[in-house]
Amino acid sequence: MKNKIILMLTLVLAIGAVATGCGGNESTLNVYNWGDYIDPEVLNLFEEEYGVRVVYDTYATNEDLYVKMKQGGSSYDVVIPSDYMIERMIREDLLMEINMDNITMLDKVDDRFLNLDYDPDNSYSVPYMWGTVGIIYNKTMVDRPLTSWADLWDEEFEGEIIMLNSQRDTLAVALKKLGYSLNTRDIGELEEARDALIEQKPIVYAYLGDEVKDVIVGEEAAIAVVWSGDAVAMMDENPNLEYVIPSEGTNLWFDAMVIPSNAQNAEAAQQFINFMTRPEIAAMNADYIGYSSPIPEAVEMLDEEIQNSSVAYPSDDMLVNTEVFKDPQDIISEYDRIWTEITSAQ
Amino acid sequence: MVNKNLKRLYTFLIFAFLYAPIIILIIYSFNDSKFRGDWNGFTLRWYIELFQDREVLRVLYYTFAIAITSSIISTVIGTMAAIGIHGIRGFTKKTILNLNYLPVLNPDIVTAVALMALFRMARLQFGFLTLLLAHITFSVPYVVLSILPKLKQMNDNLAEAAMDLGATPFYALRKVIIPEIMPGIITGGLLAFTLSIDDFVISFFTTGHGISNLSIYIYSMARKGINPTINALSTLMFFSLVALLLVINNRSEKSEKIIQERR
Amino acid sequence: MKLKRIGYPYFLWLGMFILIPLLLVTYFAFTTGDSQNFSTFTFSLDNFKKFMSPIYLGVLYRSVKIALISTVICLILGYPIAFIISREKPRVRNIMVLMFVIPMWMNFLLRTYAWLTLLGKNGILTKVLEFIGFEGVSLLYNDTAVLLGMVYNFLPFMVLPIFSVLTKMDKNLVEAAEDLGANKVEVFSKVIIPLSLPGVITGITMVFIPAVSTFVISGLLGGNKSSLIGNLIEQQFRYTGDWHFGSTMSIILMVFILASMALTSKFDKDKEGGGGGLW
C-alpha cells in the first residue's frame, strides 16, 4: 500500500516536471490579460527569444483585474487594463513607471495614441489595442438595419438581445441612449440609466462576456453589444453579421500594457512590452484576435480587407461622437451600488 | 405487469436525464468543429491536440497533484483526529464535533471567502500552498465522519488489552486500531480525493496566478467558448474512471465469493 | 485512553482554518472601511441595514424560493427511484447505485455546460420541442434553466441517502405490518415513509444548501440575468471589492442555513449517525 502511494507520488511529480517545462532557473514572467486577447503563438515566440517562461492567466473585466491587484496575494508583471482603470491605478499608486528608454519600439506607435488623458506624460503605459463599443446584429434575423442604442429597448427584439456583463460598458449604453455623457457625475442620471436597464431586462436574452461570440456566430441570438475587435472576429466566421456604431455616440477605448508596482520581474516585463510593440509581432497578434493595433506599420502588414474595414479602423468622422471613459474617482462606490442594484433586480 | 413496466420506464427516464449531457459531451469530443451546435463530421484531432496542449497538461497536473496530496494528508490528519475524538467525552467532544461539522454544513462560498480572508490576513501568496491548505480543510471533516462510525463499532477493550500486554500505544494503534477501521479510512480517503477533483468554488477563491485546477480552467473557458479538447479530456477521464470502477467491482465480487466459499 | 492526544493537531487545525476564518468574516461583517486596510475599519451595522432593503431581501427570497423548489423536485423525482433501486436484487442494485455515482465523477461545470448545448435555441431539446409543435419556446437563460441545472446536479445527493436508509430498513417490519392486515398504501405511508425520514432529511439538507448558495449554475444557465445570493457574494468579493458587505451576506446566509438545519434536525431522530443515512 505504502509503496503504491510513493509510486503514485513519484509519477505525479514526474508528469509535473514534464508539464511545467522542467522548471529550473529560468525566470518567469506573470502576464495577466483579458480572456481571448492574445495569439498564444506570440507567447511561445517570446519565450524562445528571451528564455523567459510566461505564466499566463486571464480576467473578464477591468473591475475583476482591479480587485485582484488591490487585494494582493498575487503578483503580476504585465497587465493590460483599459484607459479609465489605468487612470485609477496610477492615482492609487498601483503601477510602476516604465523606463521608456527600454521600449525602443515606442516610436512605432501612432502619436495619437500617446500622452492621452489617462496617462498624460505617457510614463506608465504602452498602447496595446484600441476600439469602439457598438451593436452587432444578424441581417437575416433582424428585419431592419439597427442604428441606435434605443433599438435595444425595442420589444420587437425580445429574447434576441445580449448585453455585456460589464459595469461601465453596460451603464454607458443606457447613459448614451438617454443622451447623457458616459462619464456623468450626476447620481440622478446614473439612477435614470439604472432604471432604463432594469426596464430593459425582460427583453434581454442574457448578460454575457466573451462567450457572446459563440452565441452570435451560432445564430442563437440576433443582437449583441460588443467590442469592435470581437465584432471583426465574429464577422469573419459568419457573413450575415453587421457592426454599427450607434448614432447617439459611443465609447472609444484604449487598452495599454502596464507594470504593477509590486512586479517581481520588471526587466522581463519591459522586454515583453517592447516585444509586443514590434510591428511584425503586433501585426500577428492583431490578425489573430481581430482587434485594432495602434501601430501603423503593423496595420500595413494586415490583409487589405481588414485595413479598409470601417469596423476595425473607423475613419475620424465616425469617431466624432465618441467619449473615452474617465475614472469616476470619489463616486466609484455609487457606480458599484448602482451596478449591484441592476444585477439584483428581477 | 403494468406496474413493472412503469417502473422500468421511470428508471430509464431518470438515467436518460442523468446521462444525456454526458453523452452529448462525448459525442462533441469527436466533432470536427470548434463551435458547439453544428456537426461537421467525425475527427480525433481534439484527442491529438489534447496531448500537445501545454496548458491543459499543466492544469491536469495541478488537479491531480492537489487531489493526491490533499487526500493523503487529510486521510492521515482525519484518522488521527477521529481516534482522538473517539477518546474524549463530554462538552469538548461536542464542541469539536460541531466545529468539524461546520465546513460540511456551510455553503461552499462561505467557507471559500472565510479562507480567502484568512490567507489574505496571513499575507500568504495565493497559489499552490493556499489551494492545498483549503482542500485539506474541507476534506478532513468528511474523513473524520467516515471513520467515527467504524471506531464506534470497534471494541475499545482490544486496544486496552494490547497495551496491558505491553504494547506501546503506537504499536496498539498500528496493529489493532488501524486494521479495524481500515474500511472507514479508505472510504474517507476516496471521498477526499473525489471532493478535491470536483471542487470549484473553494478553489476559485483560494488559488493564485497560474495555478488552476480543472474546474477553474473550465470555468474560465466557459466564458469564451469551450475548446473541444476539454470534452476529449473529460471523455478520457470518464472512461478511465468507469474502467477503474469495473475492475474494483469485479475484484470485490471475487473476494466476496472467496470469503463465502471459505465459510 | 492515552491515544486521544493524537487528535490534538487537528483540534489546532480546526481553530486555525475553520474557527478563525469565520471570526474574521464576522469581524468584516460588522465593520466598514477600505477592505484592504485594517486601520480604516470601524465598527458599524451599516452593512446589515443596507441588506435590509427590498432589493437584497428580494434576492435572498428568490434564492430560497428557487432552492426550495429544486429540493422539492429532487425529492419527488428521487424518492421513487431510490425506492425502486432498494427493491432490486443486490447485484442490479449495486450497478444502479454506481450509475448514480458515475456522473458525479465527471466535472460538474462541464456537465452544466453541456446543458447549454442541449437547451440553446439551436440545441437538440429545442429542436425536438419545435418538432412536436412547441414553436419559439426559450429554454435557456431563464429560471427554468437554472432549476433544471440544480435538479440535474443535486439529484444524486437526494437519491443516495434515501436509498441507503431504505436498504438498511428491517424488512420484518414491513412483513409484520402486512401480516397485521395493512394494505400496500398503508404499509408505504405508515411504515416505509416514516422509517426513511432520516434519509429524506439528509437528502433535503444536501440539496438545499448547495442550491441556495450557488453562483455557477445561475451564472451559466441563467445568463447572469437575475442574481441569486451566491452571485451577490461573489460579486462583492471579486468585482466590487467590498469585503464588508460580502461578509455580511455570507454571515446572513450561514446563520439562515444553520438555523434551518437546527429546525430540521428536531425531526431527525437518528442524529447519532452523524449526517443521517449517508455515512
**DSSP one-letter string for B11-22:** HHHHHHHHHHHH
Give the pLDDT score at B224: 64
Q: Which chains touch C (3 or more CB pairs under 8 A)?
A: A, B
Q: Which residue has the higher pLDDT, A283 or C189?
A: A283
Asked if residue C158 has pLDDT above 90, the reply is yes
Sequence-ordered list of residues with C-beta below 8 angstroms from that of A154, at least 6 positions apart, any chain: A203
Give the pLDDT score at B35: 64
Q: Are C211 and C67 in contact (CB under 8 A)?
A: yes
Cα–Cα separations (whole angstroms), residue B188 to A171, B147, C103, C231: 49, 7, 20, 31
Please identify which residue in the block is written with the cell numbers 476564518.
C21
Give the pLDDT score at C52: 93
pLDDT in tens, C265-275: 776 554 444 44
Q: Which residue has the higher pLDDT, A53 or C36?
A: A53
Is the minimum CB–CB distance between B73 and chain A shorter than 8 Å? Answer: no
Give CA–CA dist C121/C124, Å, rounded. Answer: 9
Give the pLDDT score at C271: 46
User: Inter-chain contact A218–C120, Cβ cutoff 8 Å?
Assistant: yes
Give the pLDDT score at A6: 54
pLDDT in tens, C70-126: 999 999 999 999 999 998 888 889 889 888 888 877 888 888 888 888 888 877 888
C1-5 mean pLDDT: 68
Q: Give the pairing of strands C31-32 and A53-59.
A: unpaired
Q: Which chains touch A (3 or more CB pairs under 8 A)?
A: B, C
Give CA–CA dist A241/A234, Å, rounded. Answer: 8
pLDDT band (50, 70, 90) for residue C212? very high
pLDDT in tens, A141-154: 999 999 999 999 99
Residues of B in contact with A76 (CB under 8 A): 209
Grid coordinates representing B143 are 474523513
Sequence-ordered list of residues with C-beta below 8 angstroms from that of A342, at least 6 positions apart, any chain: A170, A194, A197, A198
Which of these ranges, A126-135, A187-196, B248-257, has the smallest mean pLDDT? Answer: B248-257
Please count the residues of chain A: 346
User: Inter-chain contact B37–C110, Cβ cutoff 8 Å?
Assistant: no
Tell me the average pLDDT of chain A.
Answer: 90
Inter-chain contacts counted by CB atoms under 8 A, chains A and C:
72
**Cβ neighbour number for residue C34 with a 10 Å cutoff:** 14
C153-168 mean pLDDT: 92
pLDDT in tens, A297-326: 999 999 998 998 989 999 888 888 899 999
Residues of B in contact with A30 (CB under 8 A): 209-210
Angle between helices C90-101 and B2-28 (to 10 degrees): 40
Give the pLDDT score at A318: 87
Q: Are C30 and A316 in contact (CB under 8 A)?
A: no
Cα–Cα separations (whole angstroms), residue C28 to A31, B113, C32, C244, C247: 31, 11, 7, 5, 6
Q: Which residue, among C50, C239, C242, C247, would best test binding to A if mutated, counting the most A CBs under 10 Å from its CB?
A: C239
User: Inter-chain contact A19–B37, Cβ cutoff 8 Å?
Assistant: no
Q: Are A216 and A224 in contact (CB under 8 A)?
A: yes
Q: Domain C54-273: give its CATH superfamily.
A: MetI-like (1.10.3720.10)
Domains and CATH numbers, chain A: 2-129+253-313 (3.40.190.10), 131-252+320-344 (3.40.190.10)
Give CA–CA dist C93/B234, Å, rounded. Answer: 26
Give CA–CA dist A86/A316, Å, rounded. Answer: 24
Grid coordinates representing C80 are 421513487
Q: Which residue, among C77, C91, C110, would best test binding to B if mutated, counting the most B CBs under 10 Å from its CB?
A: C110
pLDDT band (50, 70, 90) for residue C165? very high
pLDDT in tens, A26-85: 789 999 998 879 998 999 999 999 999 998 888 888 988 998 888 777 789 999 999 999
Q: Which residue has the higher pLDDT, A22 or C118?
A: C118
Give CA–CA dist C143/C70, Å, rounded. Answer: 11
Grid coordinates representing C130 are 419545435
Grid coordinates representing A226 are 460588443
Give CA–CA dist B226/A210, Å, rounded. Answer: 11
Give the pLDDT score at B241: 78
Half-sphere exposure of C32 (CA within 13 A, CB side): 9
Chain C contacts in chain B segment 143-202 (CB below 8 A): 144-146, 148-149, 156, 159-160, 163, 169, 172-173, 177, 194, 197-198, 200-201
Name, of A79-88, B156-165, C194-203, the range with top average pLDDT.
A79-88
pLDDT in tens, A88-134: 999 999 999 999 999 999 999 999 999 999 999 999 999 999 999 99
Give CA–CA dist A192/A79, Å, rounded. Answer: 34
Give CA–CA dist B118/C16, Å, rounded. Answer: 9
Asked if residue A20 has pLDDT above 60, the reply is no
Query: CA nearest B188: which of B146, B220, B223, B226?
Result: B146
Q: Is the ipTM of this complex over 0.90?
A: no
Give the pLDDT score at B56: 83
Q: Which helix (H) or strand (E) holds A28?
A: strand A28-34
> Quick one: CA dihedral C53, C54, C56, C61, positive or negative?
positive
Cα–Cα separations (whole angstroms), residue B122 to A144, B115, C16, C17, C106: 58, 10, 11, 12, 34
> Quick one: CA dihedral A144, A146, A150, A156, positive or negative?
positive
> Quick one: CA dihedral A298, A303, A304, A310, positive or negative?
negative
Q: Which residue, among A212, A238, A330, A343, would best test binding to C if mutated, counting the most C CBs under 10 Å from its CB?
A: A343
pLDDT band (50, 70, 90) for residue B245? confident
Q: Are A35 and B220 in contact (CB under 8 A)?
A: yes
Is the minimum CB–CB distance between C255 and chain B shorter than 8 Å? Answer: no
Which of these ranges, A213-227, B117-131, C7-21, C105-119, has the smallest mean pLDDT? Answer: C105-119
Domains and CATH numbers, chain B: 54-232 (1.10.3720.10)
Nearest-by-CA chain A residue for B69: A9
Helices within chain A (DSSP H only)? 2-19, 40-50, 62-70, 83-91, 167-177, 187-200, 212-217, 228-237, 266-277, 279-289, 296-300, 304-307, 332-344
Give CA–CA dist B141/B81, Å, rounded. Answer: 9
A180-208 per-residue burial string, b: 16 or more CB within 10 A, e: under 16: bebbbeeeebbebbbbbbbebeebbbbbb
The β-bridge partners of A134 are: A226
User: Inter-chain contact C239–A64, Cβ cutoff 8 Å?
Assistant: yes
Give the pLDDT score at C273: 41
C-alpha B124, offset from chain centre: 25
Name, of A180-194, B96-110, B205-219, C84-98, the range with top average pLDDT.
A180-194
Asked if residue B135 has pLDDT above 90, the reply is yes
Sequence-ordered list of residues with C-beta below 8 angstroms from that of A146, at least 6 positions apart, any chain: A135, A137, A223, A244, A246
Ramachandran region, residue A75 (left: φ > 0; alpha: ψ -120 to 50; beta: rest): beta
Give the pLDDT score at A153: 97
Residues of C in contact with B77 (CB under 8 A): 9-10, 13
Asked if residue A25 has pLDDT above 90, the reply is no
Is the minimum CB–CB distance between C42 and chain B shorter than 8 Å? Answer: no
Give CA–CA dist A194/A79, Å, rounded. Answer: 30
Cα–Cα separations (whole angstroms), residue B62 to A7, A339, B197: 17, 35, 10
Give the pLDDT score at A209: 85
Give the pLDDT score at C262: 83
A158-167 mean pLDDT: 93
Give the pLDDT score at B116: 93
Q: Which residue has the higher pLDDT, A106 or C188?
A: A106
Asked if residue A263 has pLDDT above 90, the reply is yes
The β-bridge partners of A259 are: A96
Task: Compute the radius of gyration of chain C from its Cα atoms.
Answer: 23
Tell me the average pLDDT of chain B.
Answer: 86
For chain C, domain boundaries: 1-44, 54-273
